Amino acid sequence: MKNTDAPGPAGPTGHGVTGVVLAAGAGTRLGLGPKALLPYRGRPLVESVANALLDGGCREVVVVLGAGASEVQSAASLDRFRVVDNAEWQTGMGSSFLLGNQAADPGSHLLIALVDQPGLTPETVARLLARHRQGRITAAAYRRRDSSDGGQAALRRGHPLLIDASLRDAVCATVTGDAGARGFLRSHPDLVDEVDCSDQSSGEDVDTPDQLGLLR
């Protein structure tokens, strides 16, 4: 993986970028229902994440729902986006990833975001689009302190993840269960550029009750 702070020579010019929000999970570990419905600044969290993708420069945004899909659509304002329902959401995030890819324009780059990342900003999205290089994967990275690193603030890869149009088929061929693109990223670290977005947020996901403070 390469940390890059300089704009790439190509960027997404010539290809539109389709944002995909993976929002199908039931939020079992959190125990508060689908994470898409978590309250964030007075609205369901899914709205904030999807709006960040569109406002940050994506040509279109696909929102993949699953658990409580009808409830989410009733509560959230999703008219700006294409909404698809993953009937197989219980099989794991991989099925939502593949469904989002299928719904996207075949020629576009794919920007994958998680619904439980309230700190995602349009500025983060715009930065990834600007730094993207042809034929590569561009990932947001965040500096987080970790006891395994002696308390140092190491740069760690997170989401969103911008997948070049030319790599979509190869990435999807490795997607299974709840892993998403993880297998491809591990097998091809030489194709991944990490972009520091620590000035925008911590990049943390809301997975457990002690992380609910991220929703403030």
Question: What are the tens digits of pLDDT across the range 133-156?
Answer: 999 999 999 997 554 555 567 899
Cα–Cα distance measured from residue 152 to residue 89, given in angstroms and rounded to the nearest whole number: 37
How far is the CA of 55 from the CAs of 30, 118, 152, in angstroms? 28, 15, 33
Confidence of residue 10 (pLDDT cuts 50, 70, 90): very low
The domain that contains 115 carries what CATH number?
A: 3.90.550.10
Q: Band the pLDDT of 11: cuts 50, 70, 90.
A: low
Residue 101 maps to a domain:
yes
Name the pLDDT band for 205 (thresholds 50, 70, 90): confident
- 68 secondary structure, DSSP code: B
**What does the DSSP 8-state code read for residue 98?**
H
Q: 66 by DSSP, 3-state: which?
A: strand
In angstroms, rounded to a whole number, what is the distance separating the alpha carbons of residues 25 and 138?
Answer: 25
Domain annotation covers residue 146: yes
Q: Is residue 212 part of a domain?
A: no
Tokens of 64: 């993949």
216 within a domain of the structure (yes/no): no
Contacting residues for 171 by C-beta, under 8 A, at least 6 apart: 137, 163, 181, 184
Tell me which residue range forms the domain holding 178.
Answer: 15-205
DSSP state of 46: H
**Residue matched to tokens 């993840």:** 161
For the entire predicted model, the pTM comes to 0.90
pLDDT at 82: 97
Q: How far apart are CA 155 and CA 152, in angstroms?
A: 9
**10 inside domain:** no
Tens digits of residue pLDDT in 84-120: 999 999 999 999 999 999 999 999 999 999 999 999 9
Q: What is the pLDDT of residue 14?
A: 47
Structure tokens at 164: 């070049």
Confidence check: pLDDT of 200 > 90 = yes
Q: 38 — alpha (psi -120 to 50), left (phi > 0) or beta? A: beta
- In this prediction, residue 151 carries a pLDDT of 55
Q: Is residue 3 part of a domain?
A: no
Q: Where are the beta strands (DSSP E) in 28-152?
A: 39-40, 43-44, 60-65, 82-85, 109-114, 137-145
Read off the pLDDT band of 214 (50, 70, 90): confident
pLDDT reported for residue 181? 94
Mean pLDDT of the chain: 90
Least confident of 18-27, 188-197, 201-210: 201-210
Instruction: Give how far the C-alpha of residue 90 lies from the chain's centroid of Cα atoms, to the nearest Å.
Output: 19
How many independent structural domains does the chain possess? Answer: 1
Tell me which residue of 191, 129, 181 sits closest to 158, measured CA to CA.
Answer: 181
CA dist 181 and 52 (Å) reads 21
8 or 28, higher pLDDT? 28
4 inside domain = no
Is residue 181 included in any domain, yes or no?
Answer: yes
